[in-house]
């Protein structure tokens, strides 16, 4: 039986996954959007973000987050992040995965 991750671990996983997608440590993810993604109140996400900031893991700015300690962020992420990372190539090879879709060319 799977348990729901804590908001702290869910915020860490969402930030790490977003950073993976944009391939940057500065991610354009506002706290209100992060709260929507997680089905949480913005005030709850704000408290989590400030706790992670106090620990030196991330630094929020208007409209985004800068990841300062990526390894620590991943360590604090829920177990689903690790599972997705370890099975990423298999997931991308599935129908509808990134490898089965042509990506637009940059102009």
Per-residue pLDDT tens over the stretch 6-27: 899 999 999 998 998 899 999 9
Buried b / exposed e over 58-86, threshold 16 CB at 10 Å, is bebeeebbebeeeebbbebbbeebeeeee
Q: Tokens 């908001």 identify what position?
A: 7
Q: pTM score, two decimals?
A: 0.74
Q: Which two tokens stand for residue 92?
A: 């991308």
pLDDT digits (tens, 9 = 90+) for 51-68: 999 999 999 999 999 999
Q: Which CATH number fits domain 7-94: 1.20.59.10, 3.40.50.720, 3.30.450.20, 1.10.10.10?
A: 1.10.10.10
């Amino acid at each position: 039986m799977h348990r729901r991750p804590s908001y702290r671990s869910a915020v860490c996983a969402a930030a790490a996954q977003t950073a993976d997608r944009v391939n940057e440590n500065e991610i354009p993810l506002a706290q209100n959007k992060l709260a929507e993604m997680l089905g949480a109140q913005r005030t709850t996400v704000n408290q989590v973000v400030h706790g992670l900031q106090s620990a030196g893991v991330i630094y929020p700015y208007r409209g985004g987050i800068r990841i300062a300690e990526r390894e620590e962020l991943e360590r604090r992420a829920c177990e689903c992040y690790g599972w997705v990372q370890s099975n990423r190539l298999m997931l991308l090879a599935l129908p509808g995965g990134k490898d089965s879709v042509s990506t637009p060319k940059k102009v």
